[in-house]
Amino acid sequence: MEVSTMIVIAVVVVVILYAIVIYNNLVSLKHAIGQAWSNIDVLLKQRHDELPKLVETCKQYMKHERETLELVMKARSAVASARQAHDVGGLGEAEGMLRLGLGNLFAVAEAYPDLKADEGFRHLRTRITGLENDIADRREFYNASVNANNVRIEQFPDVIIARLLGFKAAKLLQFDAAEISDVDLGAAFS
């Protein structure tokens, strides 16, 4: 076998091995996004299950605040729909609406001292606030995973493998800045 043939074979083997490494890294990034989304989904489901309890507790005290309670339940439904459809953009909008509704609910609760003193309400408020913080943490991890994926599939030579094998950019999970700043659950009860 000639030296030039051996060099060509060696180069082809190296290129194939490098393509395999790139492919495996891209697959790993894709699955990291899926795992990050699953972590968010678990927390959204937990909060979804807690919100009716909160609204029911509030109904006992807040007879004249139906609109506020209905807004929270409508937003809860929108979040559930977006979550089930894996609609990242829709989830961002619905989350903003829910955060705004919860902020309004907790602000209105200030006018009801008996409600603020209710042990169930305090427990639910603490639980939901904790879930909100956990969702924000997981959203940050999800967005970091999406960013790593999106950068990688645009970098050379990964872009070649990514395009050949159909790897797609993922969407960041973003909330409207104004909606986030309007909801400060901690400040509502300080």
pLDDT tens digits for 6-24? 999 999 999 999 999 999 9
Range of 80's domain? 3-188
How many residues belong to the chain? 190
The pTM score is 0.71
Distance from C-alpha of 81 to C-alpha of 94, rounded to nearest angstrom: 9
CATH, residue 36: 1.20.1440.20
Helix, strand, or coil here: 62?
Answer: coil
pLDDT tens digits, 121-175: 888 888 998 998 898 899 999 999 999 999 999 999 999 999 999 999 998 887 7
The contacts of residue 54 (CB under 8 Å, 6+ apart) are 72, 105, 121, 124, 125, 128
